[in-house]
Structure 1
Amino acid sequence: MAALLLRHVGRHCLRAHFSPQLCIRNWSLPMAMSICHRGTGIALSAGVSLFGLSALLLPGNFESYLELVKSLCLGPALIHTAKFALVFPLMYHTWNGIRHLMWDLGKGLKIPQLYQSGVVVLVLTVLSSMGLAAM
């Protein structure tokens, strides 16, 4: 009898999920921003590493590659969009990092403040990205 009970409990435990499944949870703004913060951190560190490796391994210097891009005669809309796409992850990670530093100080940890600071981070990210892309 005990063996049957153990076998039943074992089967039930194998089917049970020990961690929350992201596909069945409702996504909240702080949860999505936390995942994006980690993703931008990984992407930025990979980008810096690849840029450094390319500077070492590729022939020529930065000016020659800049001239190559200028010779493609890309439209200003495409160049502005590309600059915005490059600077957006950096600005998001920067502003959200400042938000994390405020949390380390014990500020803004209540749920309404989490959402407010999240919206502020997103607005500042878009505005600063547009400003830097316009340069």
Structure 2
Amino acid sequence: MAALLLRRVGHHCLRAHLSPLLCIRKWSLPMVMSICHRGTGIALSAGVSLFGLSALLVPGSFESHLELVKSLCLGPALIHTAKFALVFPLTYHTWNGIRHLMWDLGKGLTISQLYQSGVIVLVLTVLSSVGLAAM
């Protein structure tokens, strides 16, 4: 029933005279990367805020919590995956921020350059995230 309702709403959206931005059928790489840039910024801000609040509210010191994690004897694959998951938003937001700064200088604004720089940002993000997680 819910699927039929969603399909009907989708068809109405396509037939109505709405802004093209409200009924996008195919998402482009720059659009998805812009949304992800905002999302990683929110995630980084929330992570720093939660870490600060936990330092104030949770009893004990950082060293005692680190020892607790070490005592769990987690496997290296899980530890490296967790480190990658923590560092990926930081590296993506940093590389994409550099890309945005280049746009502010008026460079790389053609459609082909947008896609090329997007792929370069994704490759650099994965490589730097893997490198930082391996430390």
- For the aligned pair, the TM-score class normalised by the smaller chain equals 0.7 to 0.9
Cα offset for 1:61? 1.0
Cα offset for 1:96? 0.1
Cα offset for 1:21? 2.4
Cα distance per residue 1:17-60 (max 9 Å; x no partner): 246225x4201110100000000001100110000000111111
1:34-113 matches, cutoff 5 A: 34-113=34-113
Cα distance per residue 1:68-119 (max 9 Å; x no partner): 1101110000000000000000000000000000000001000000000000
Q: Tell me, which stretches of 5 or more residues in structure 2 are unaligned?
A: 1-15
Q: Tell me, which stretches of 5 or more residues in structure 1 are unaligned?
A: 1-14
- Report the aligned-residue RMSD: 1.1
Distance 2:80 2:34 in 1: 27
In the TM superposition, structure 1's runs of 4+ consecutive aligned residues that sit over 3 Å from their partners are: none
- Residue in structure 2 matched with residue 16 of structure 1 by the alignment: 17
- Give the count of matched residue pairs: 120
Distance 1:32 1:127 in 2: 20
Distance 1:60 1:21 in 2: 49
Distance 2:80 2:19 in 1: 46
TM-score, length-normalised on structure 1? Answer: 0.85
Distance 1:69 1:16 in 2: 55
Which protein is bigger by CA-based radius of gyration? 1
